[in-house]
Amino acid sequence: MKVTKCCKTPKPHPQSGNSKDCDRPCPIEHILEQISSKWSILILRELFGGNRRTHELQEVLPVSTKTLTLRLRELEKHDIIERKVYPEIPPRVEYSLTSKGRELQPVLDALQQVGWAWLSKDEES
């Protein structure tokens, strides 16, 4: 996905205060480009609870090993998670959030709140 130009309605950039920053790439689209692959957000949800090994992620997510590995590599490539290999036999690998990844927690917390609200409304219907 190629990130397009920003907004149709110019809003001042929060740091520069310049509304001409709409000529820059869209920041929302930029983030979605990095985390919108299927399973990525759910992987992040699990990592907000702490470091996880591959098998621990597979136990809670109905995803194939191949797909999980691809998503973990994508998130690592974007510096959202990090992979730590321990010098043990058999090898032990753990995944954790980077500081960039932890910045997403309030966003996912907000999604969770909206999700709970929508689920409640759907149950009432």
Domain 38-124 has CATH 1.10.10.10: yes
Tell me the angle at which helices 40-47 and 65-77 cross, rounded to the nearest 10 degrees.
80
Which whole number is the average pLDDT over 4-20? Answer: 59
Q: What percent of the chain has pLDDT over 70?
A: 82
Q: What is the predicted pLDDT for the residue at 121?
A: 86
pLDDT of 90 above 80:
yes
Q: Give the span between the Cα atoms of 82 and 16, in whole angstroms.
A: 31
Higher pLDDT, 16 or 95: 95
Q: What is the predicted pLDDT for the residue at 106?
A: 96
pLDDT of 6 above 80:
no
- pLDDT tier at 80, thresholds 50, 70, 90: very high
**Where is average pLDDT lowest: 21-25, 38-42, 111-115?**
21-25
Q: What is the predicted pLDDT for the residue at 27?
A: 87
Q: Is 107 helix (H, G, I), strand (E, B) or coil?
A: helix
pLDDT tens across 25-76, in order?
888 888 999 999 999 999 999 999 999 999 999 999 999 999 999 999 999 9
Q: What is the predicted pLDDT for the residue at 50?
A: 97
> Positive or negative CA dihedral for 105, 106, 108, 109?
positive
Positions of CATH 1.10.10.10 in the chain: 38-124
Q: Give the span between the Cα atoms of 52 and 41, in whole angstroms.
A: 15
Q: What is the predicted pLDDT for the residue at 28?
A: 86
Q: Which amino acid is at 46?
A: E
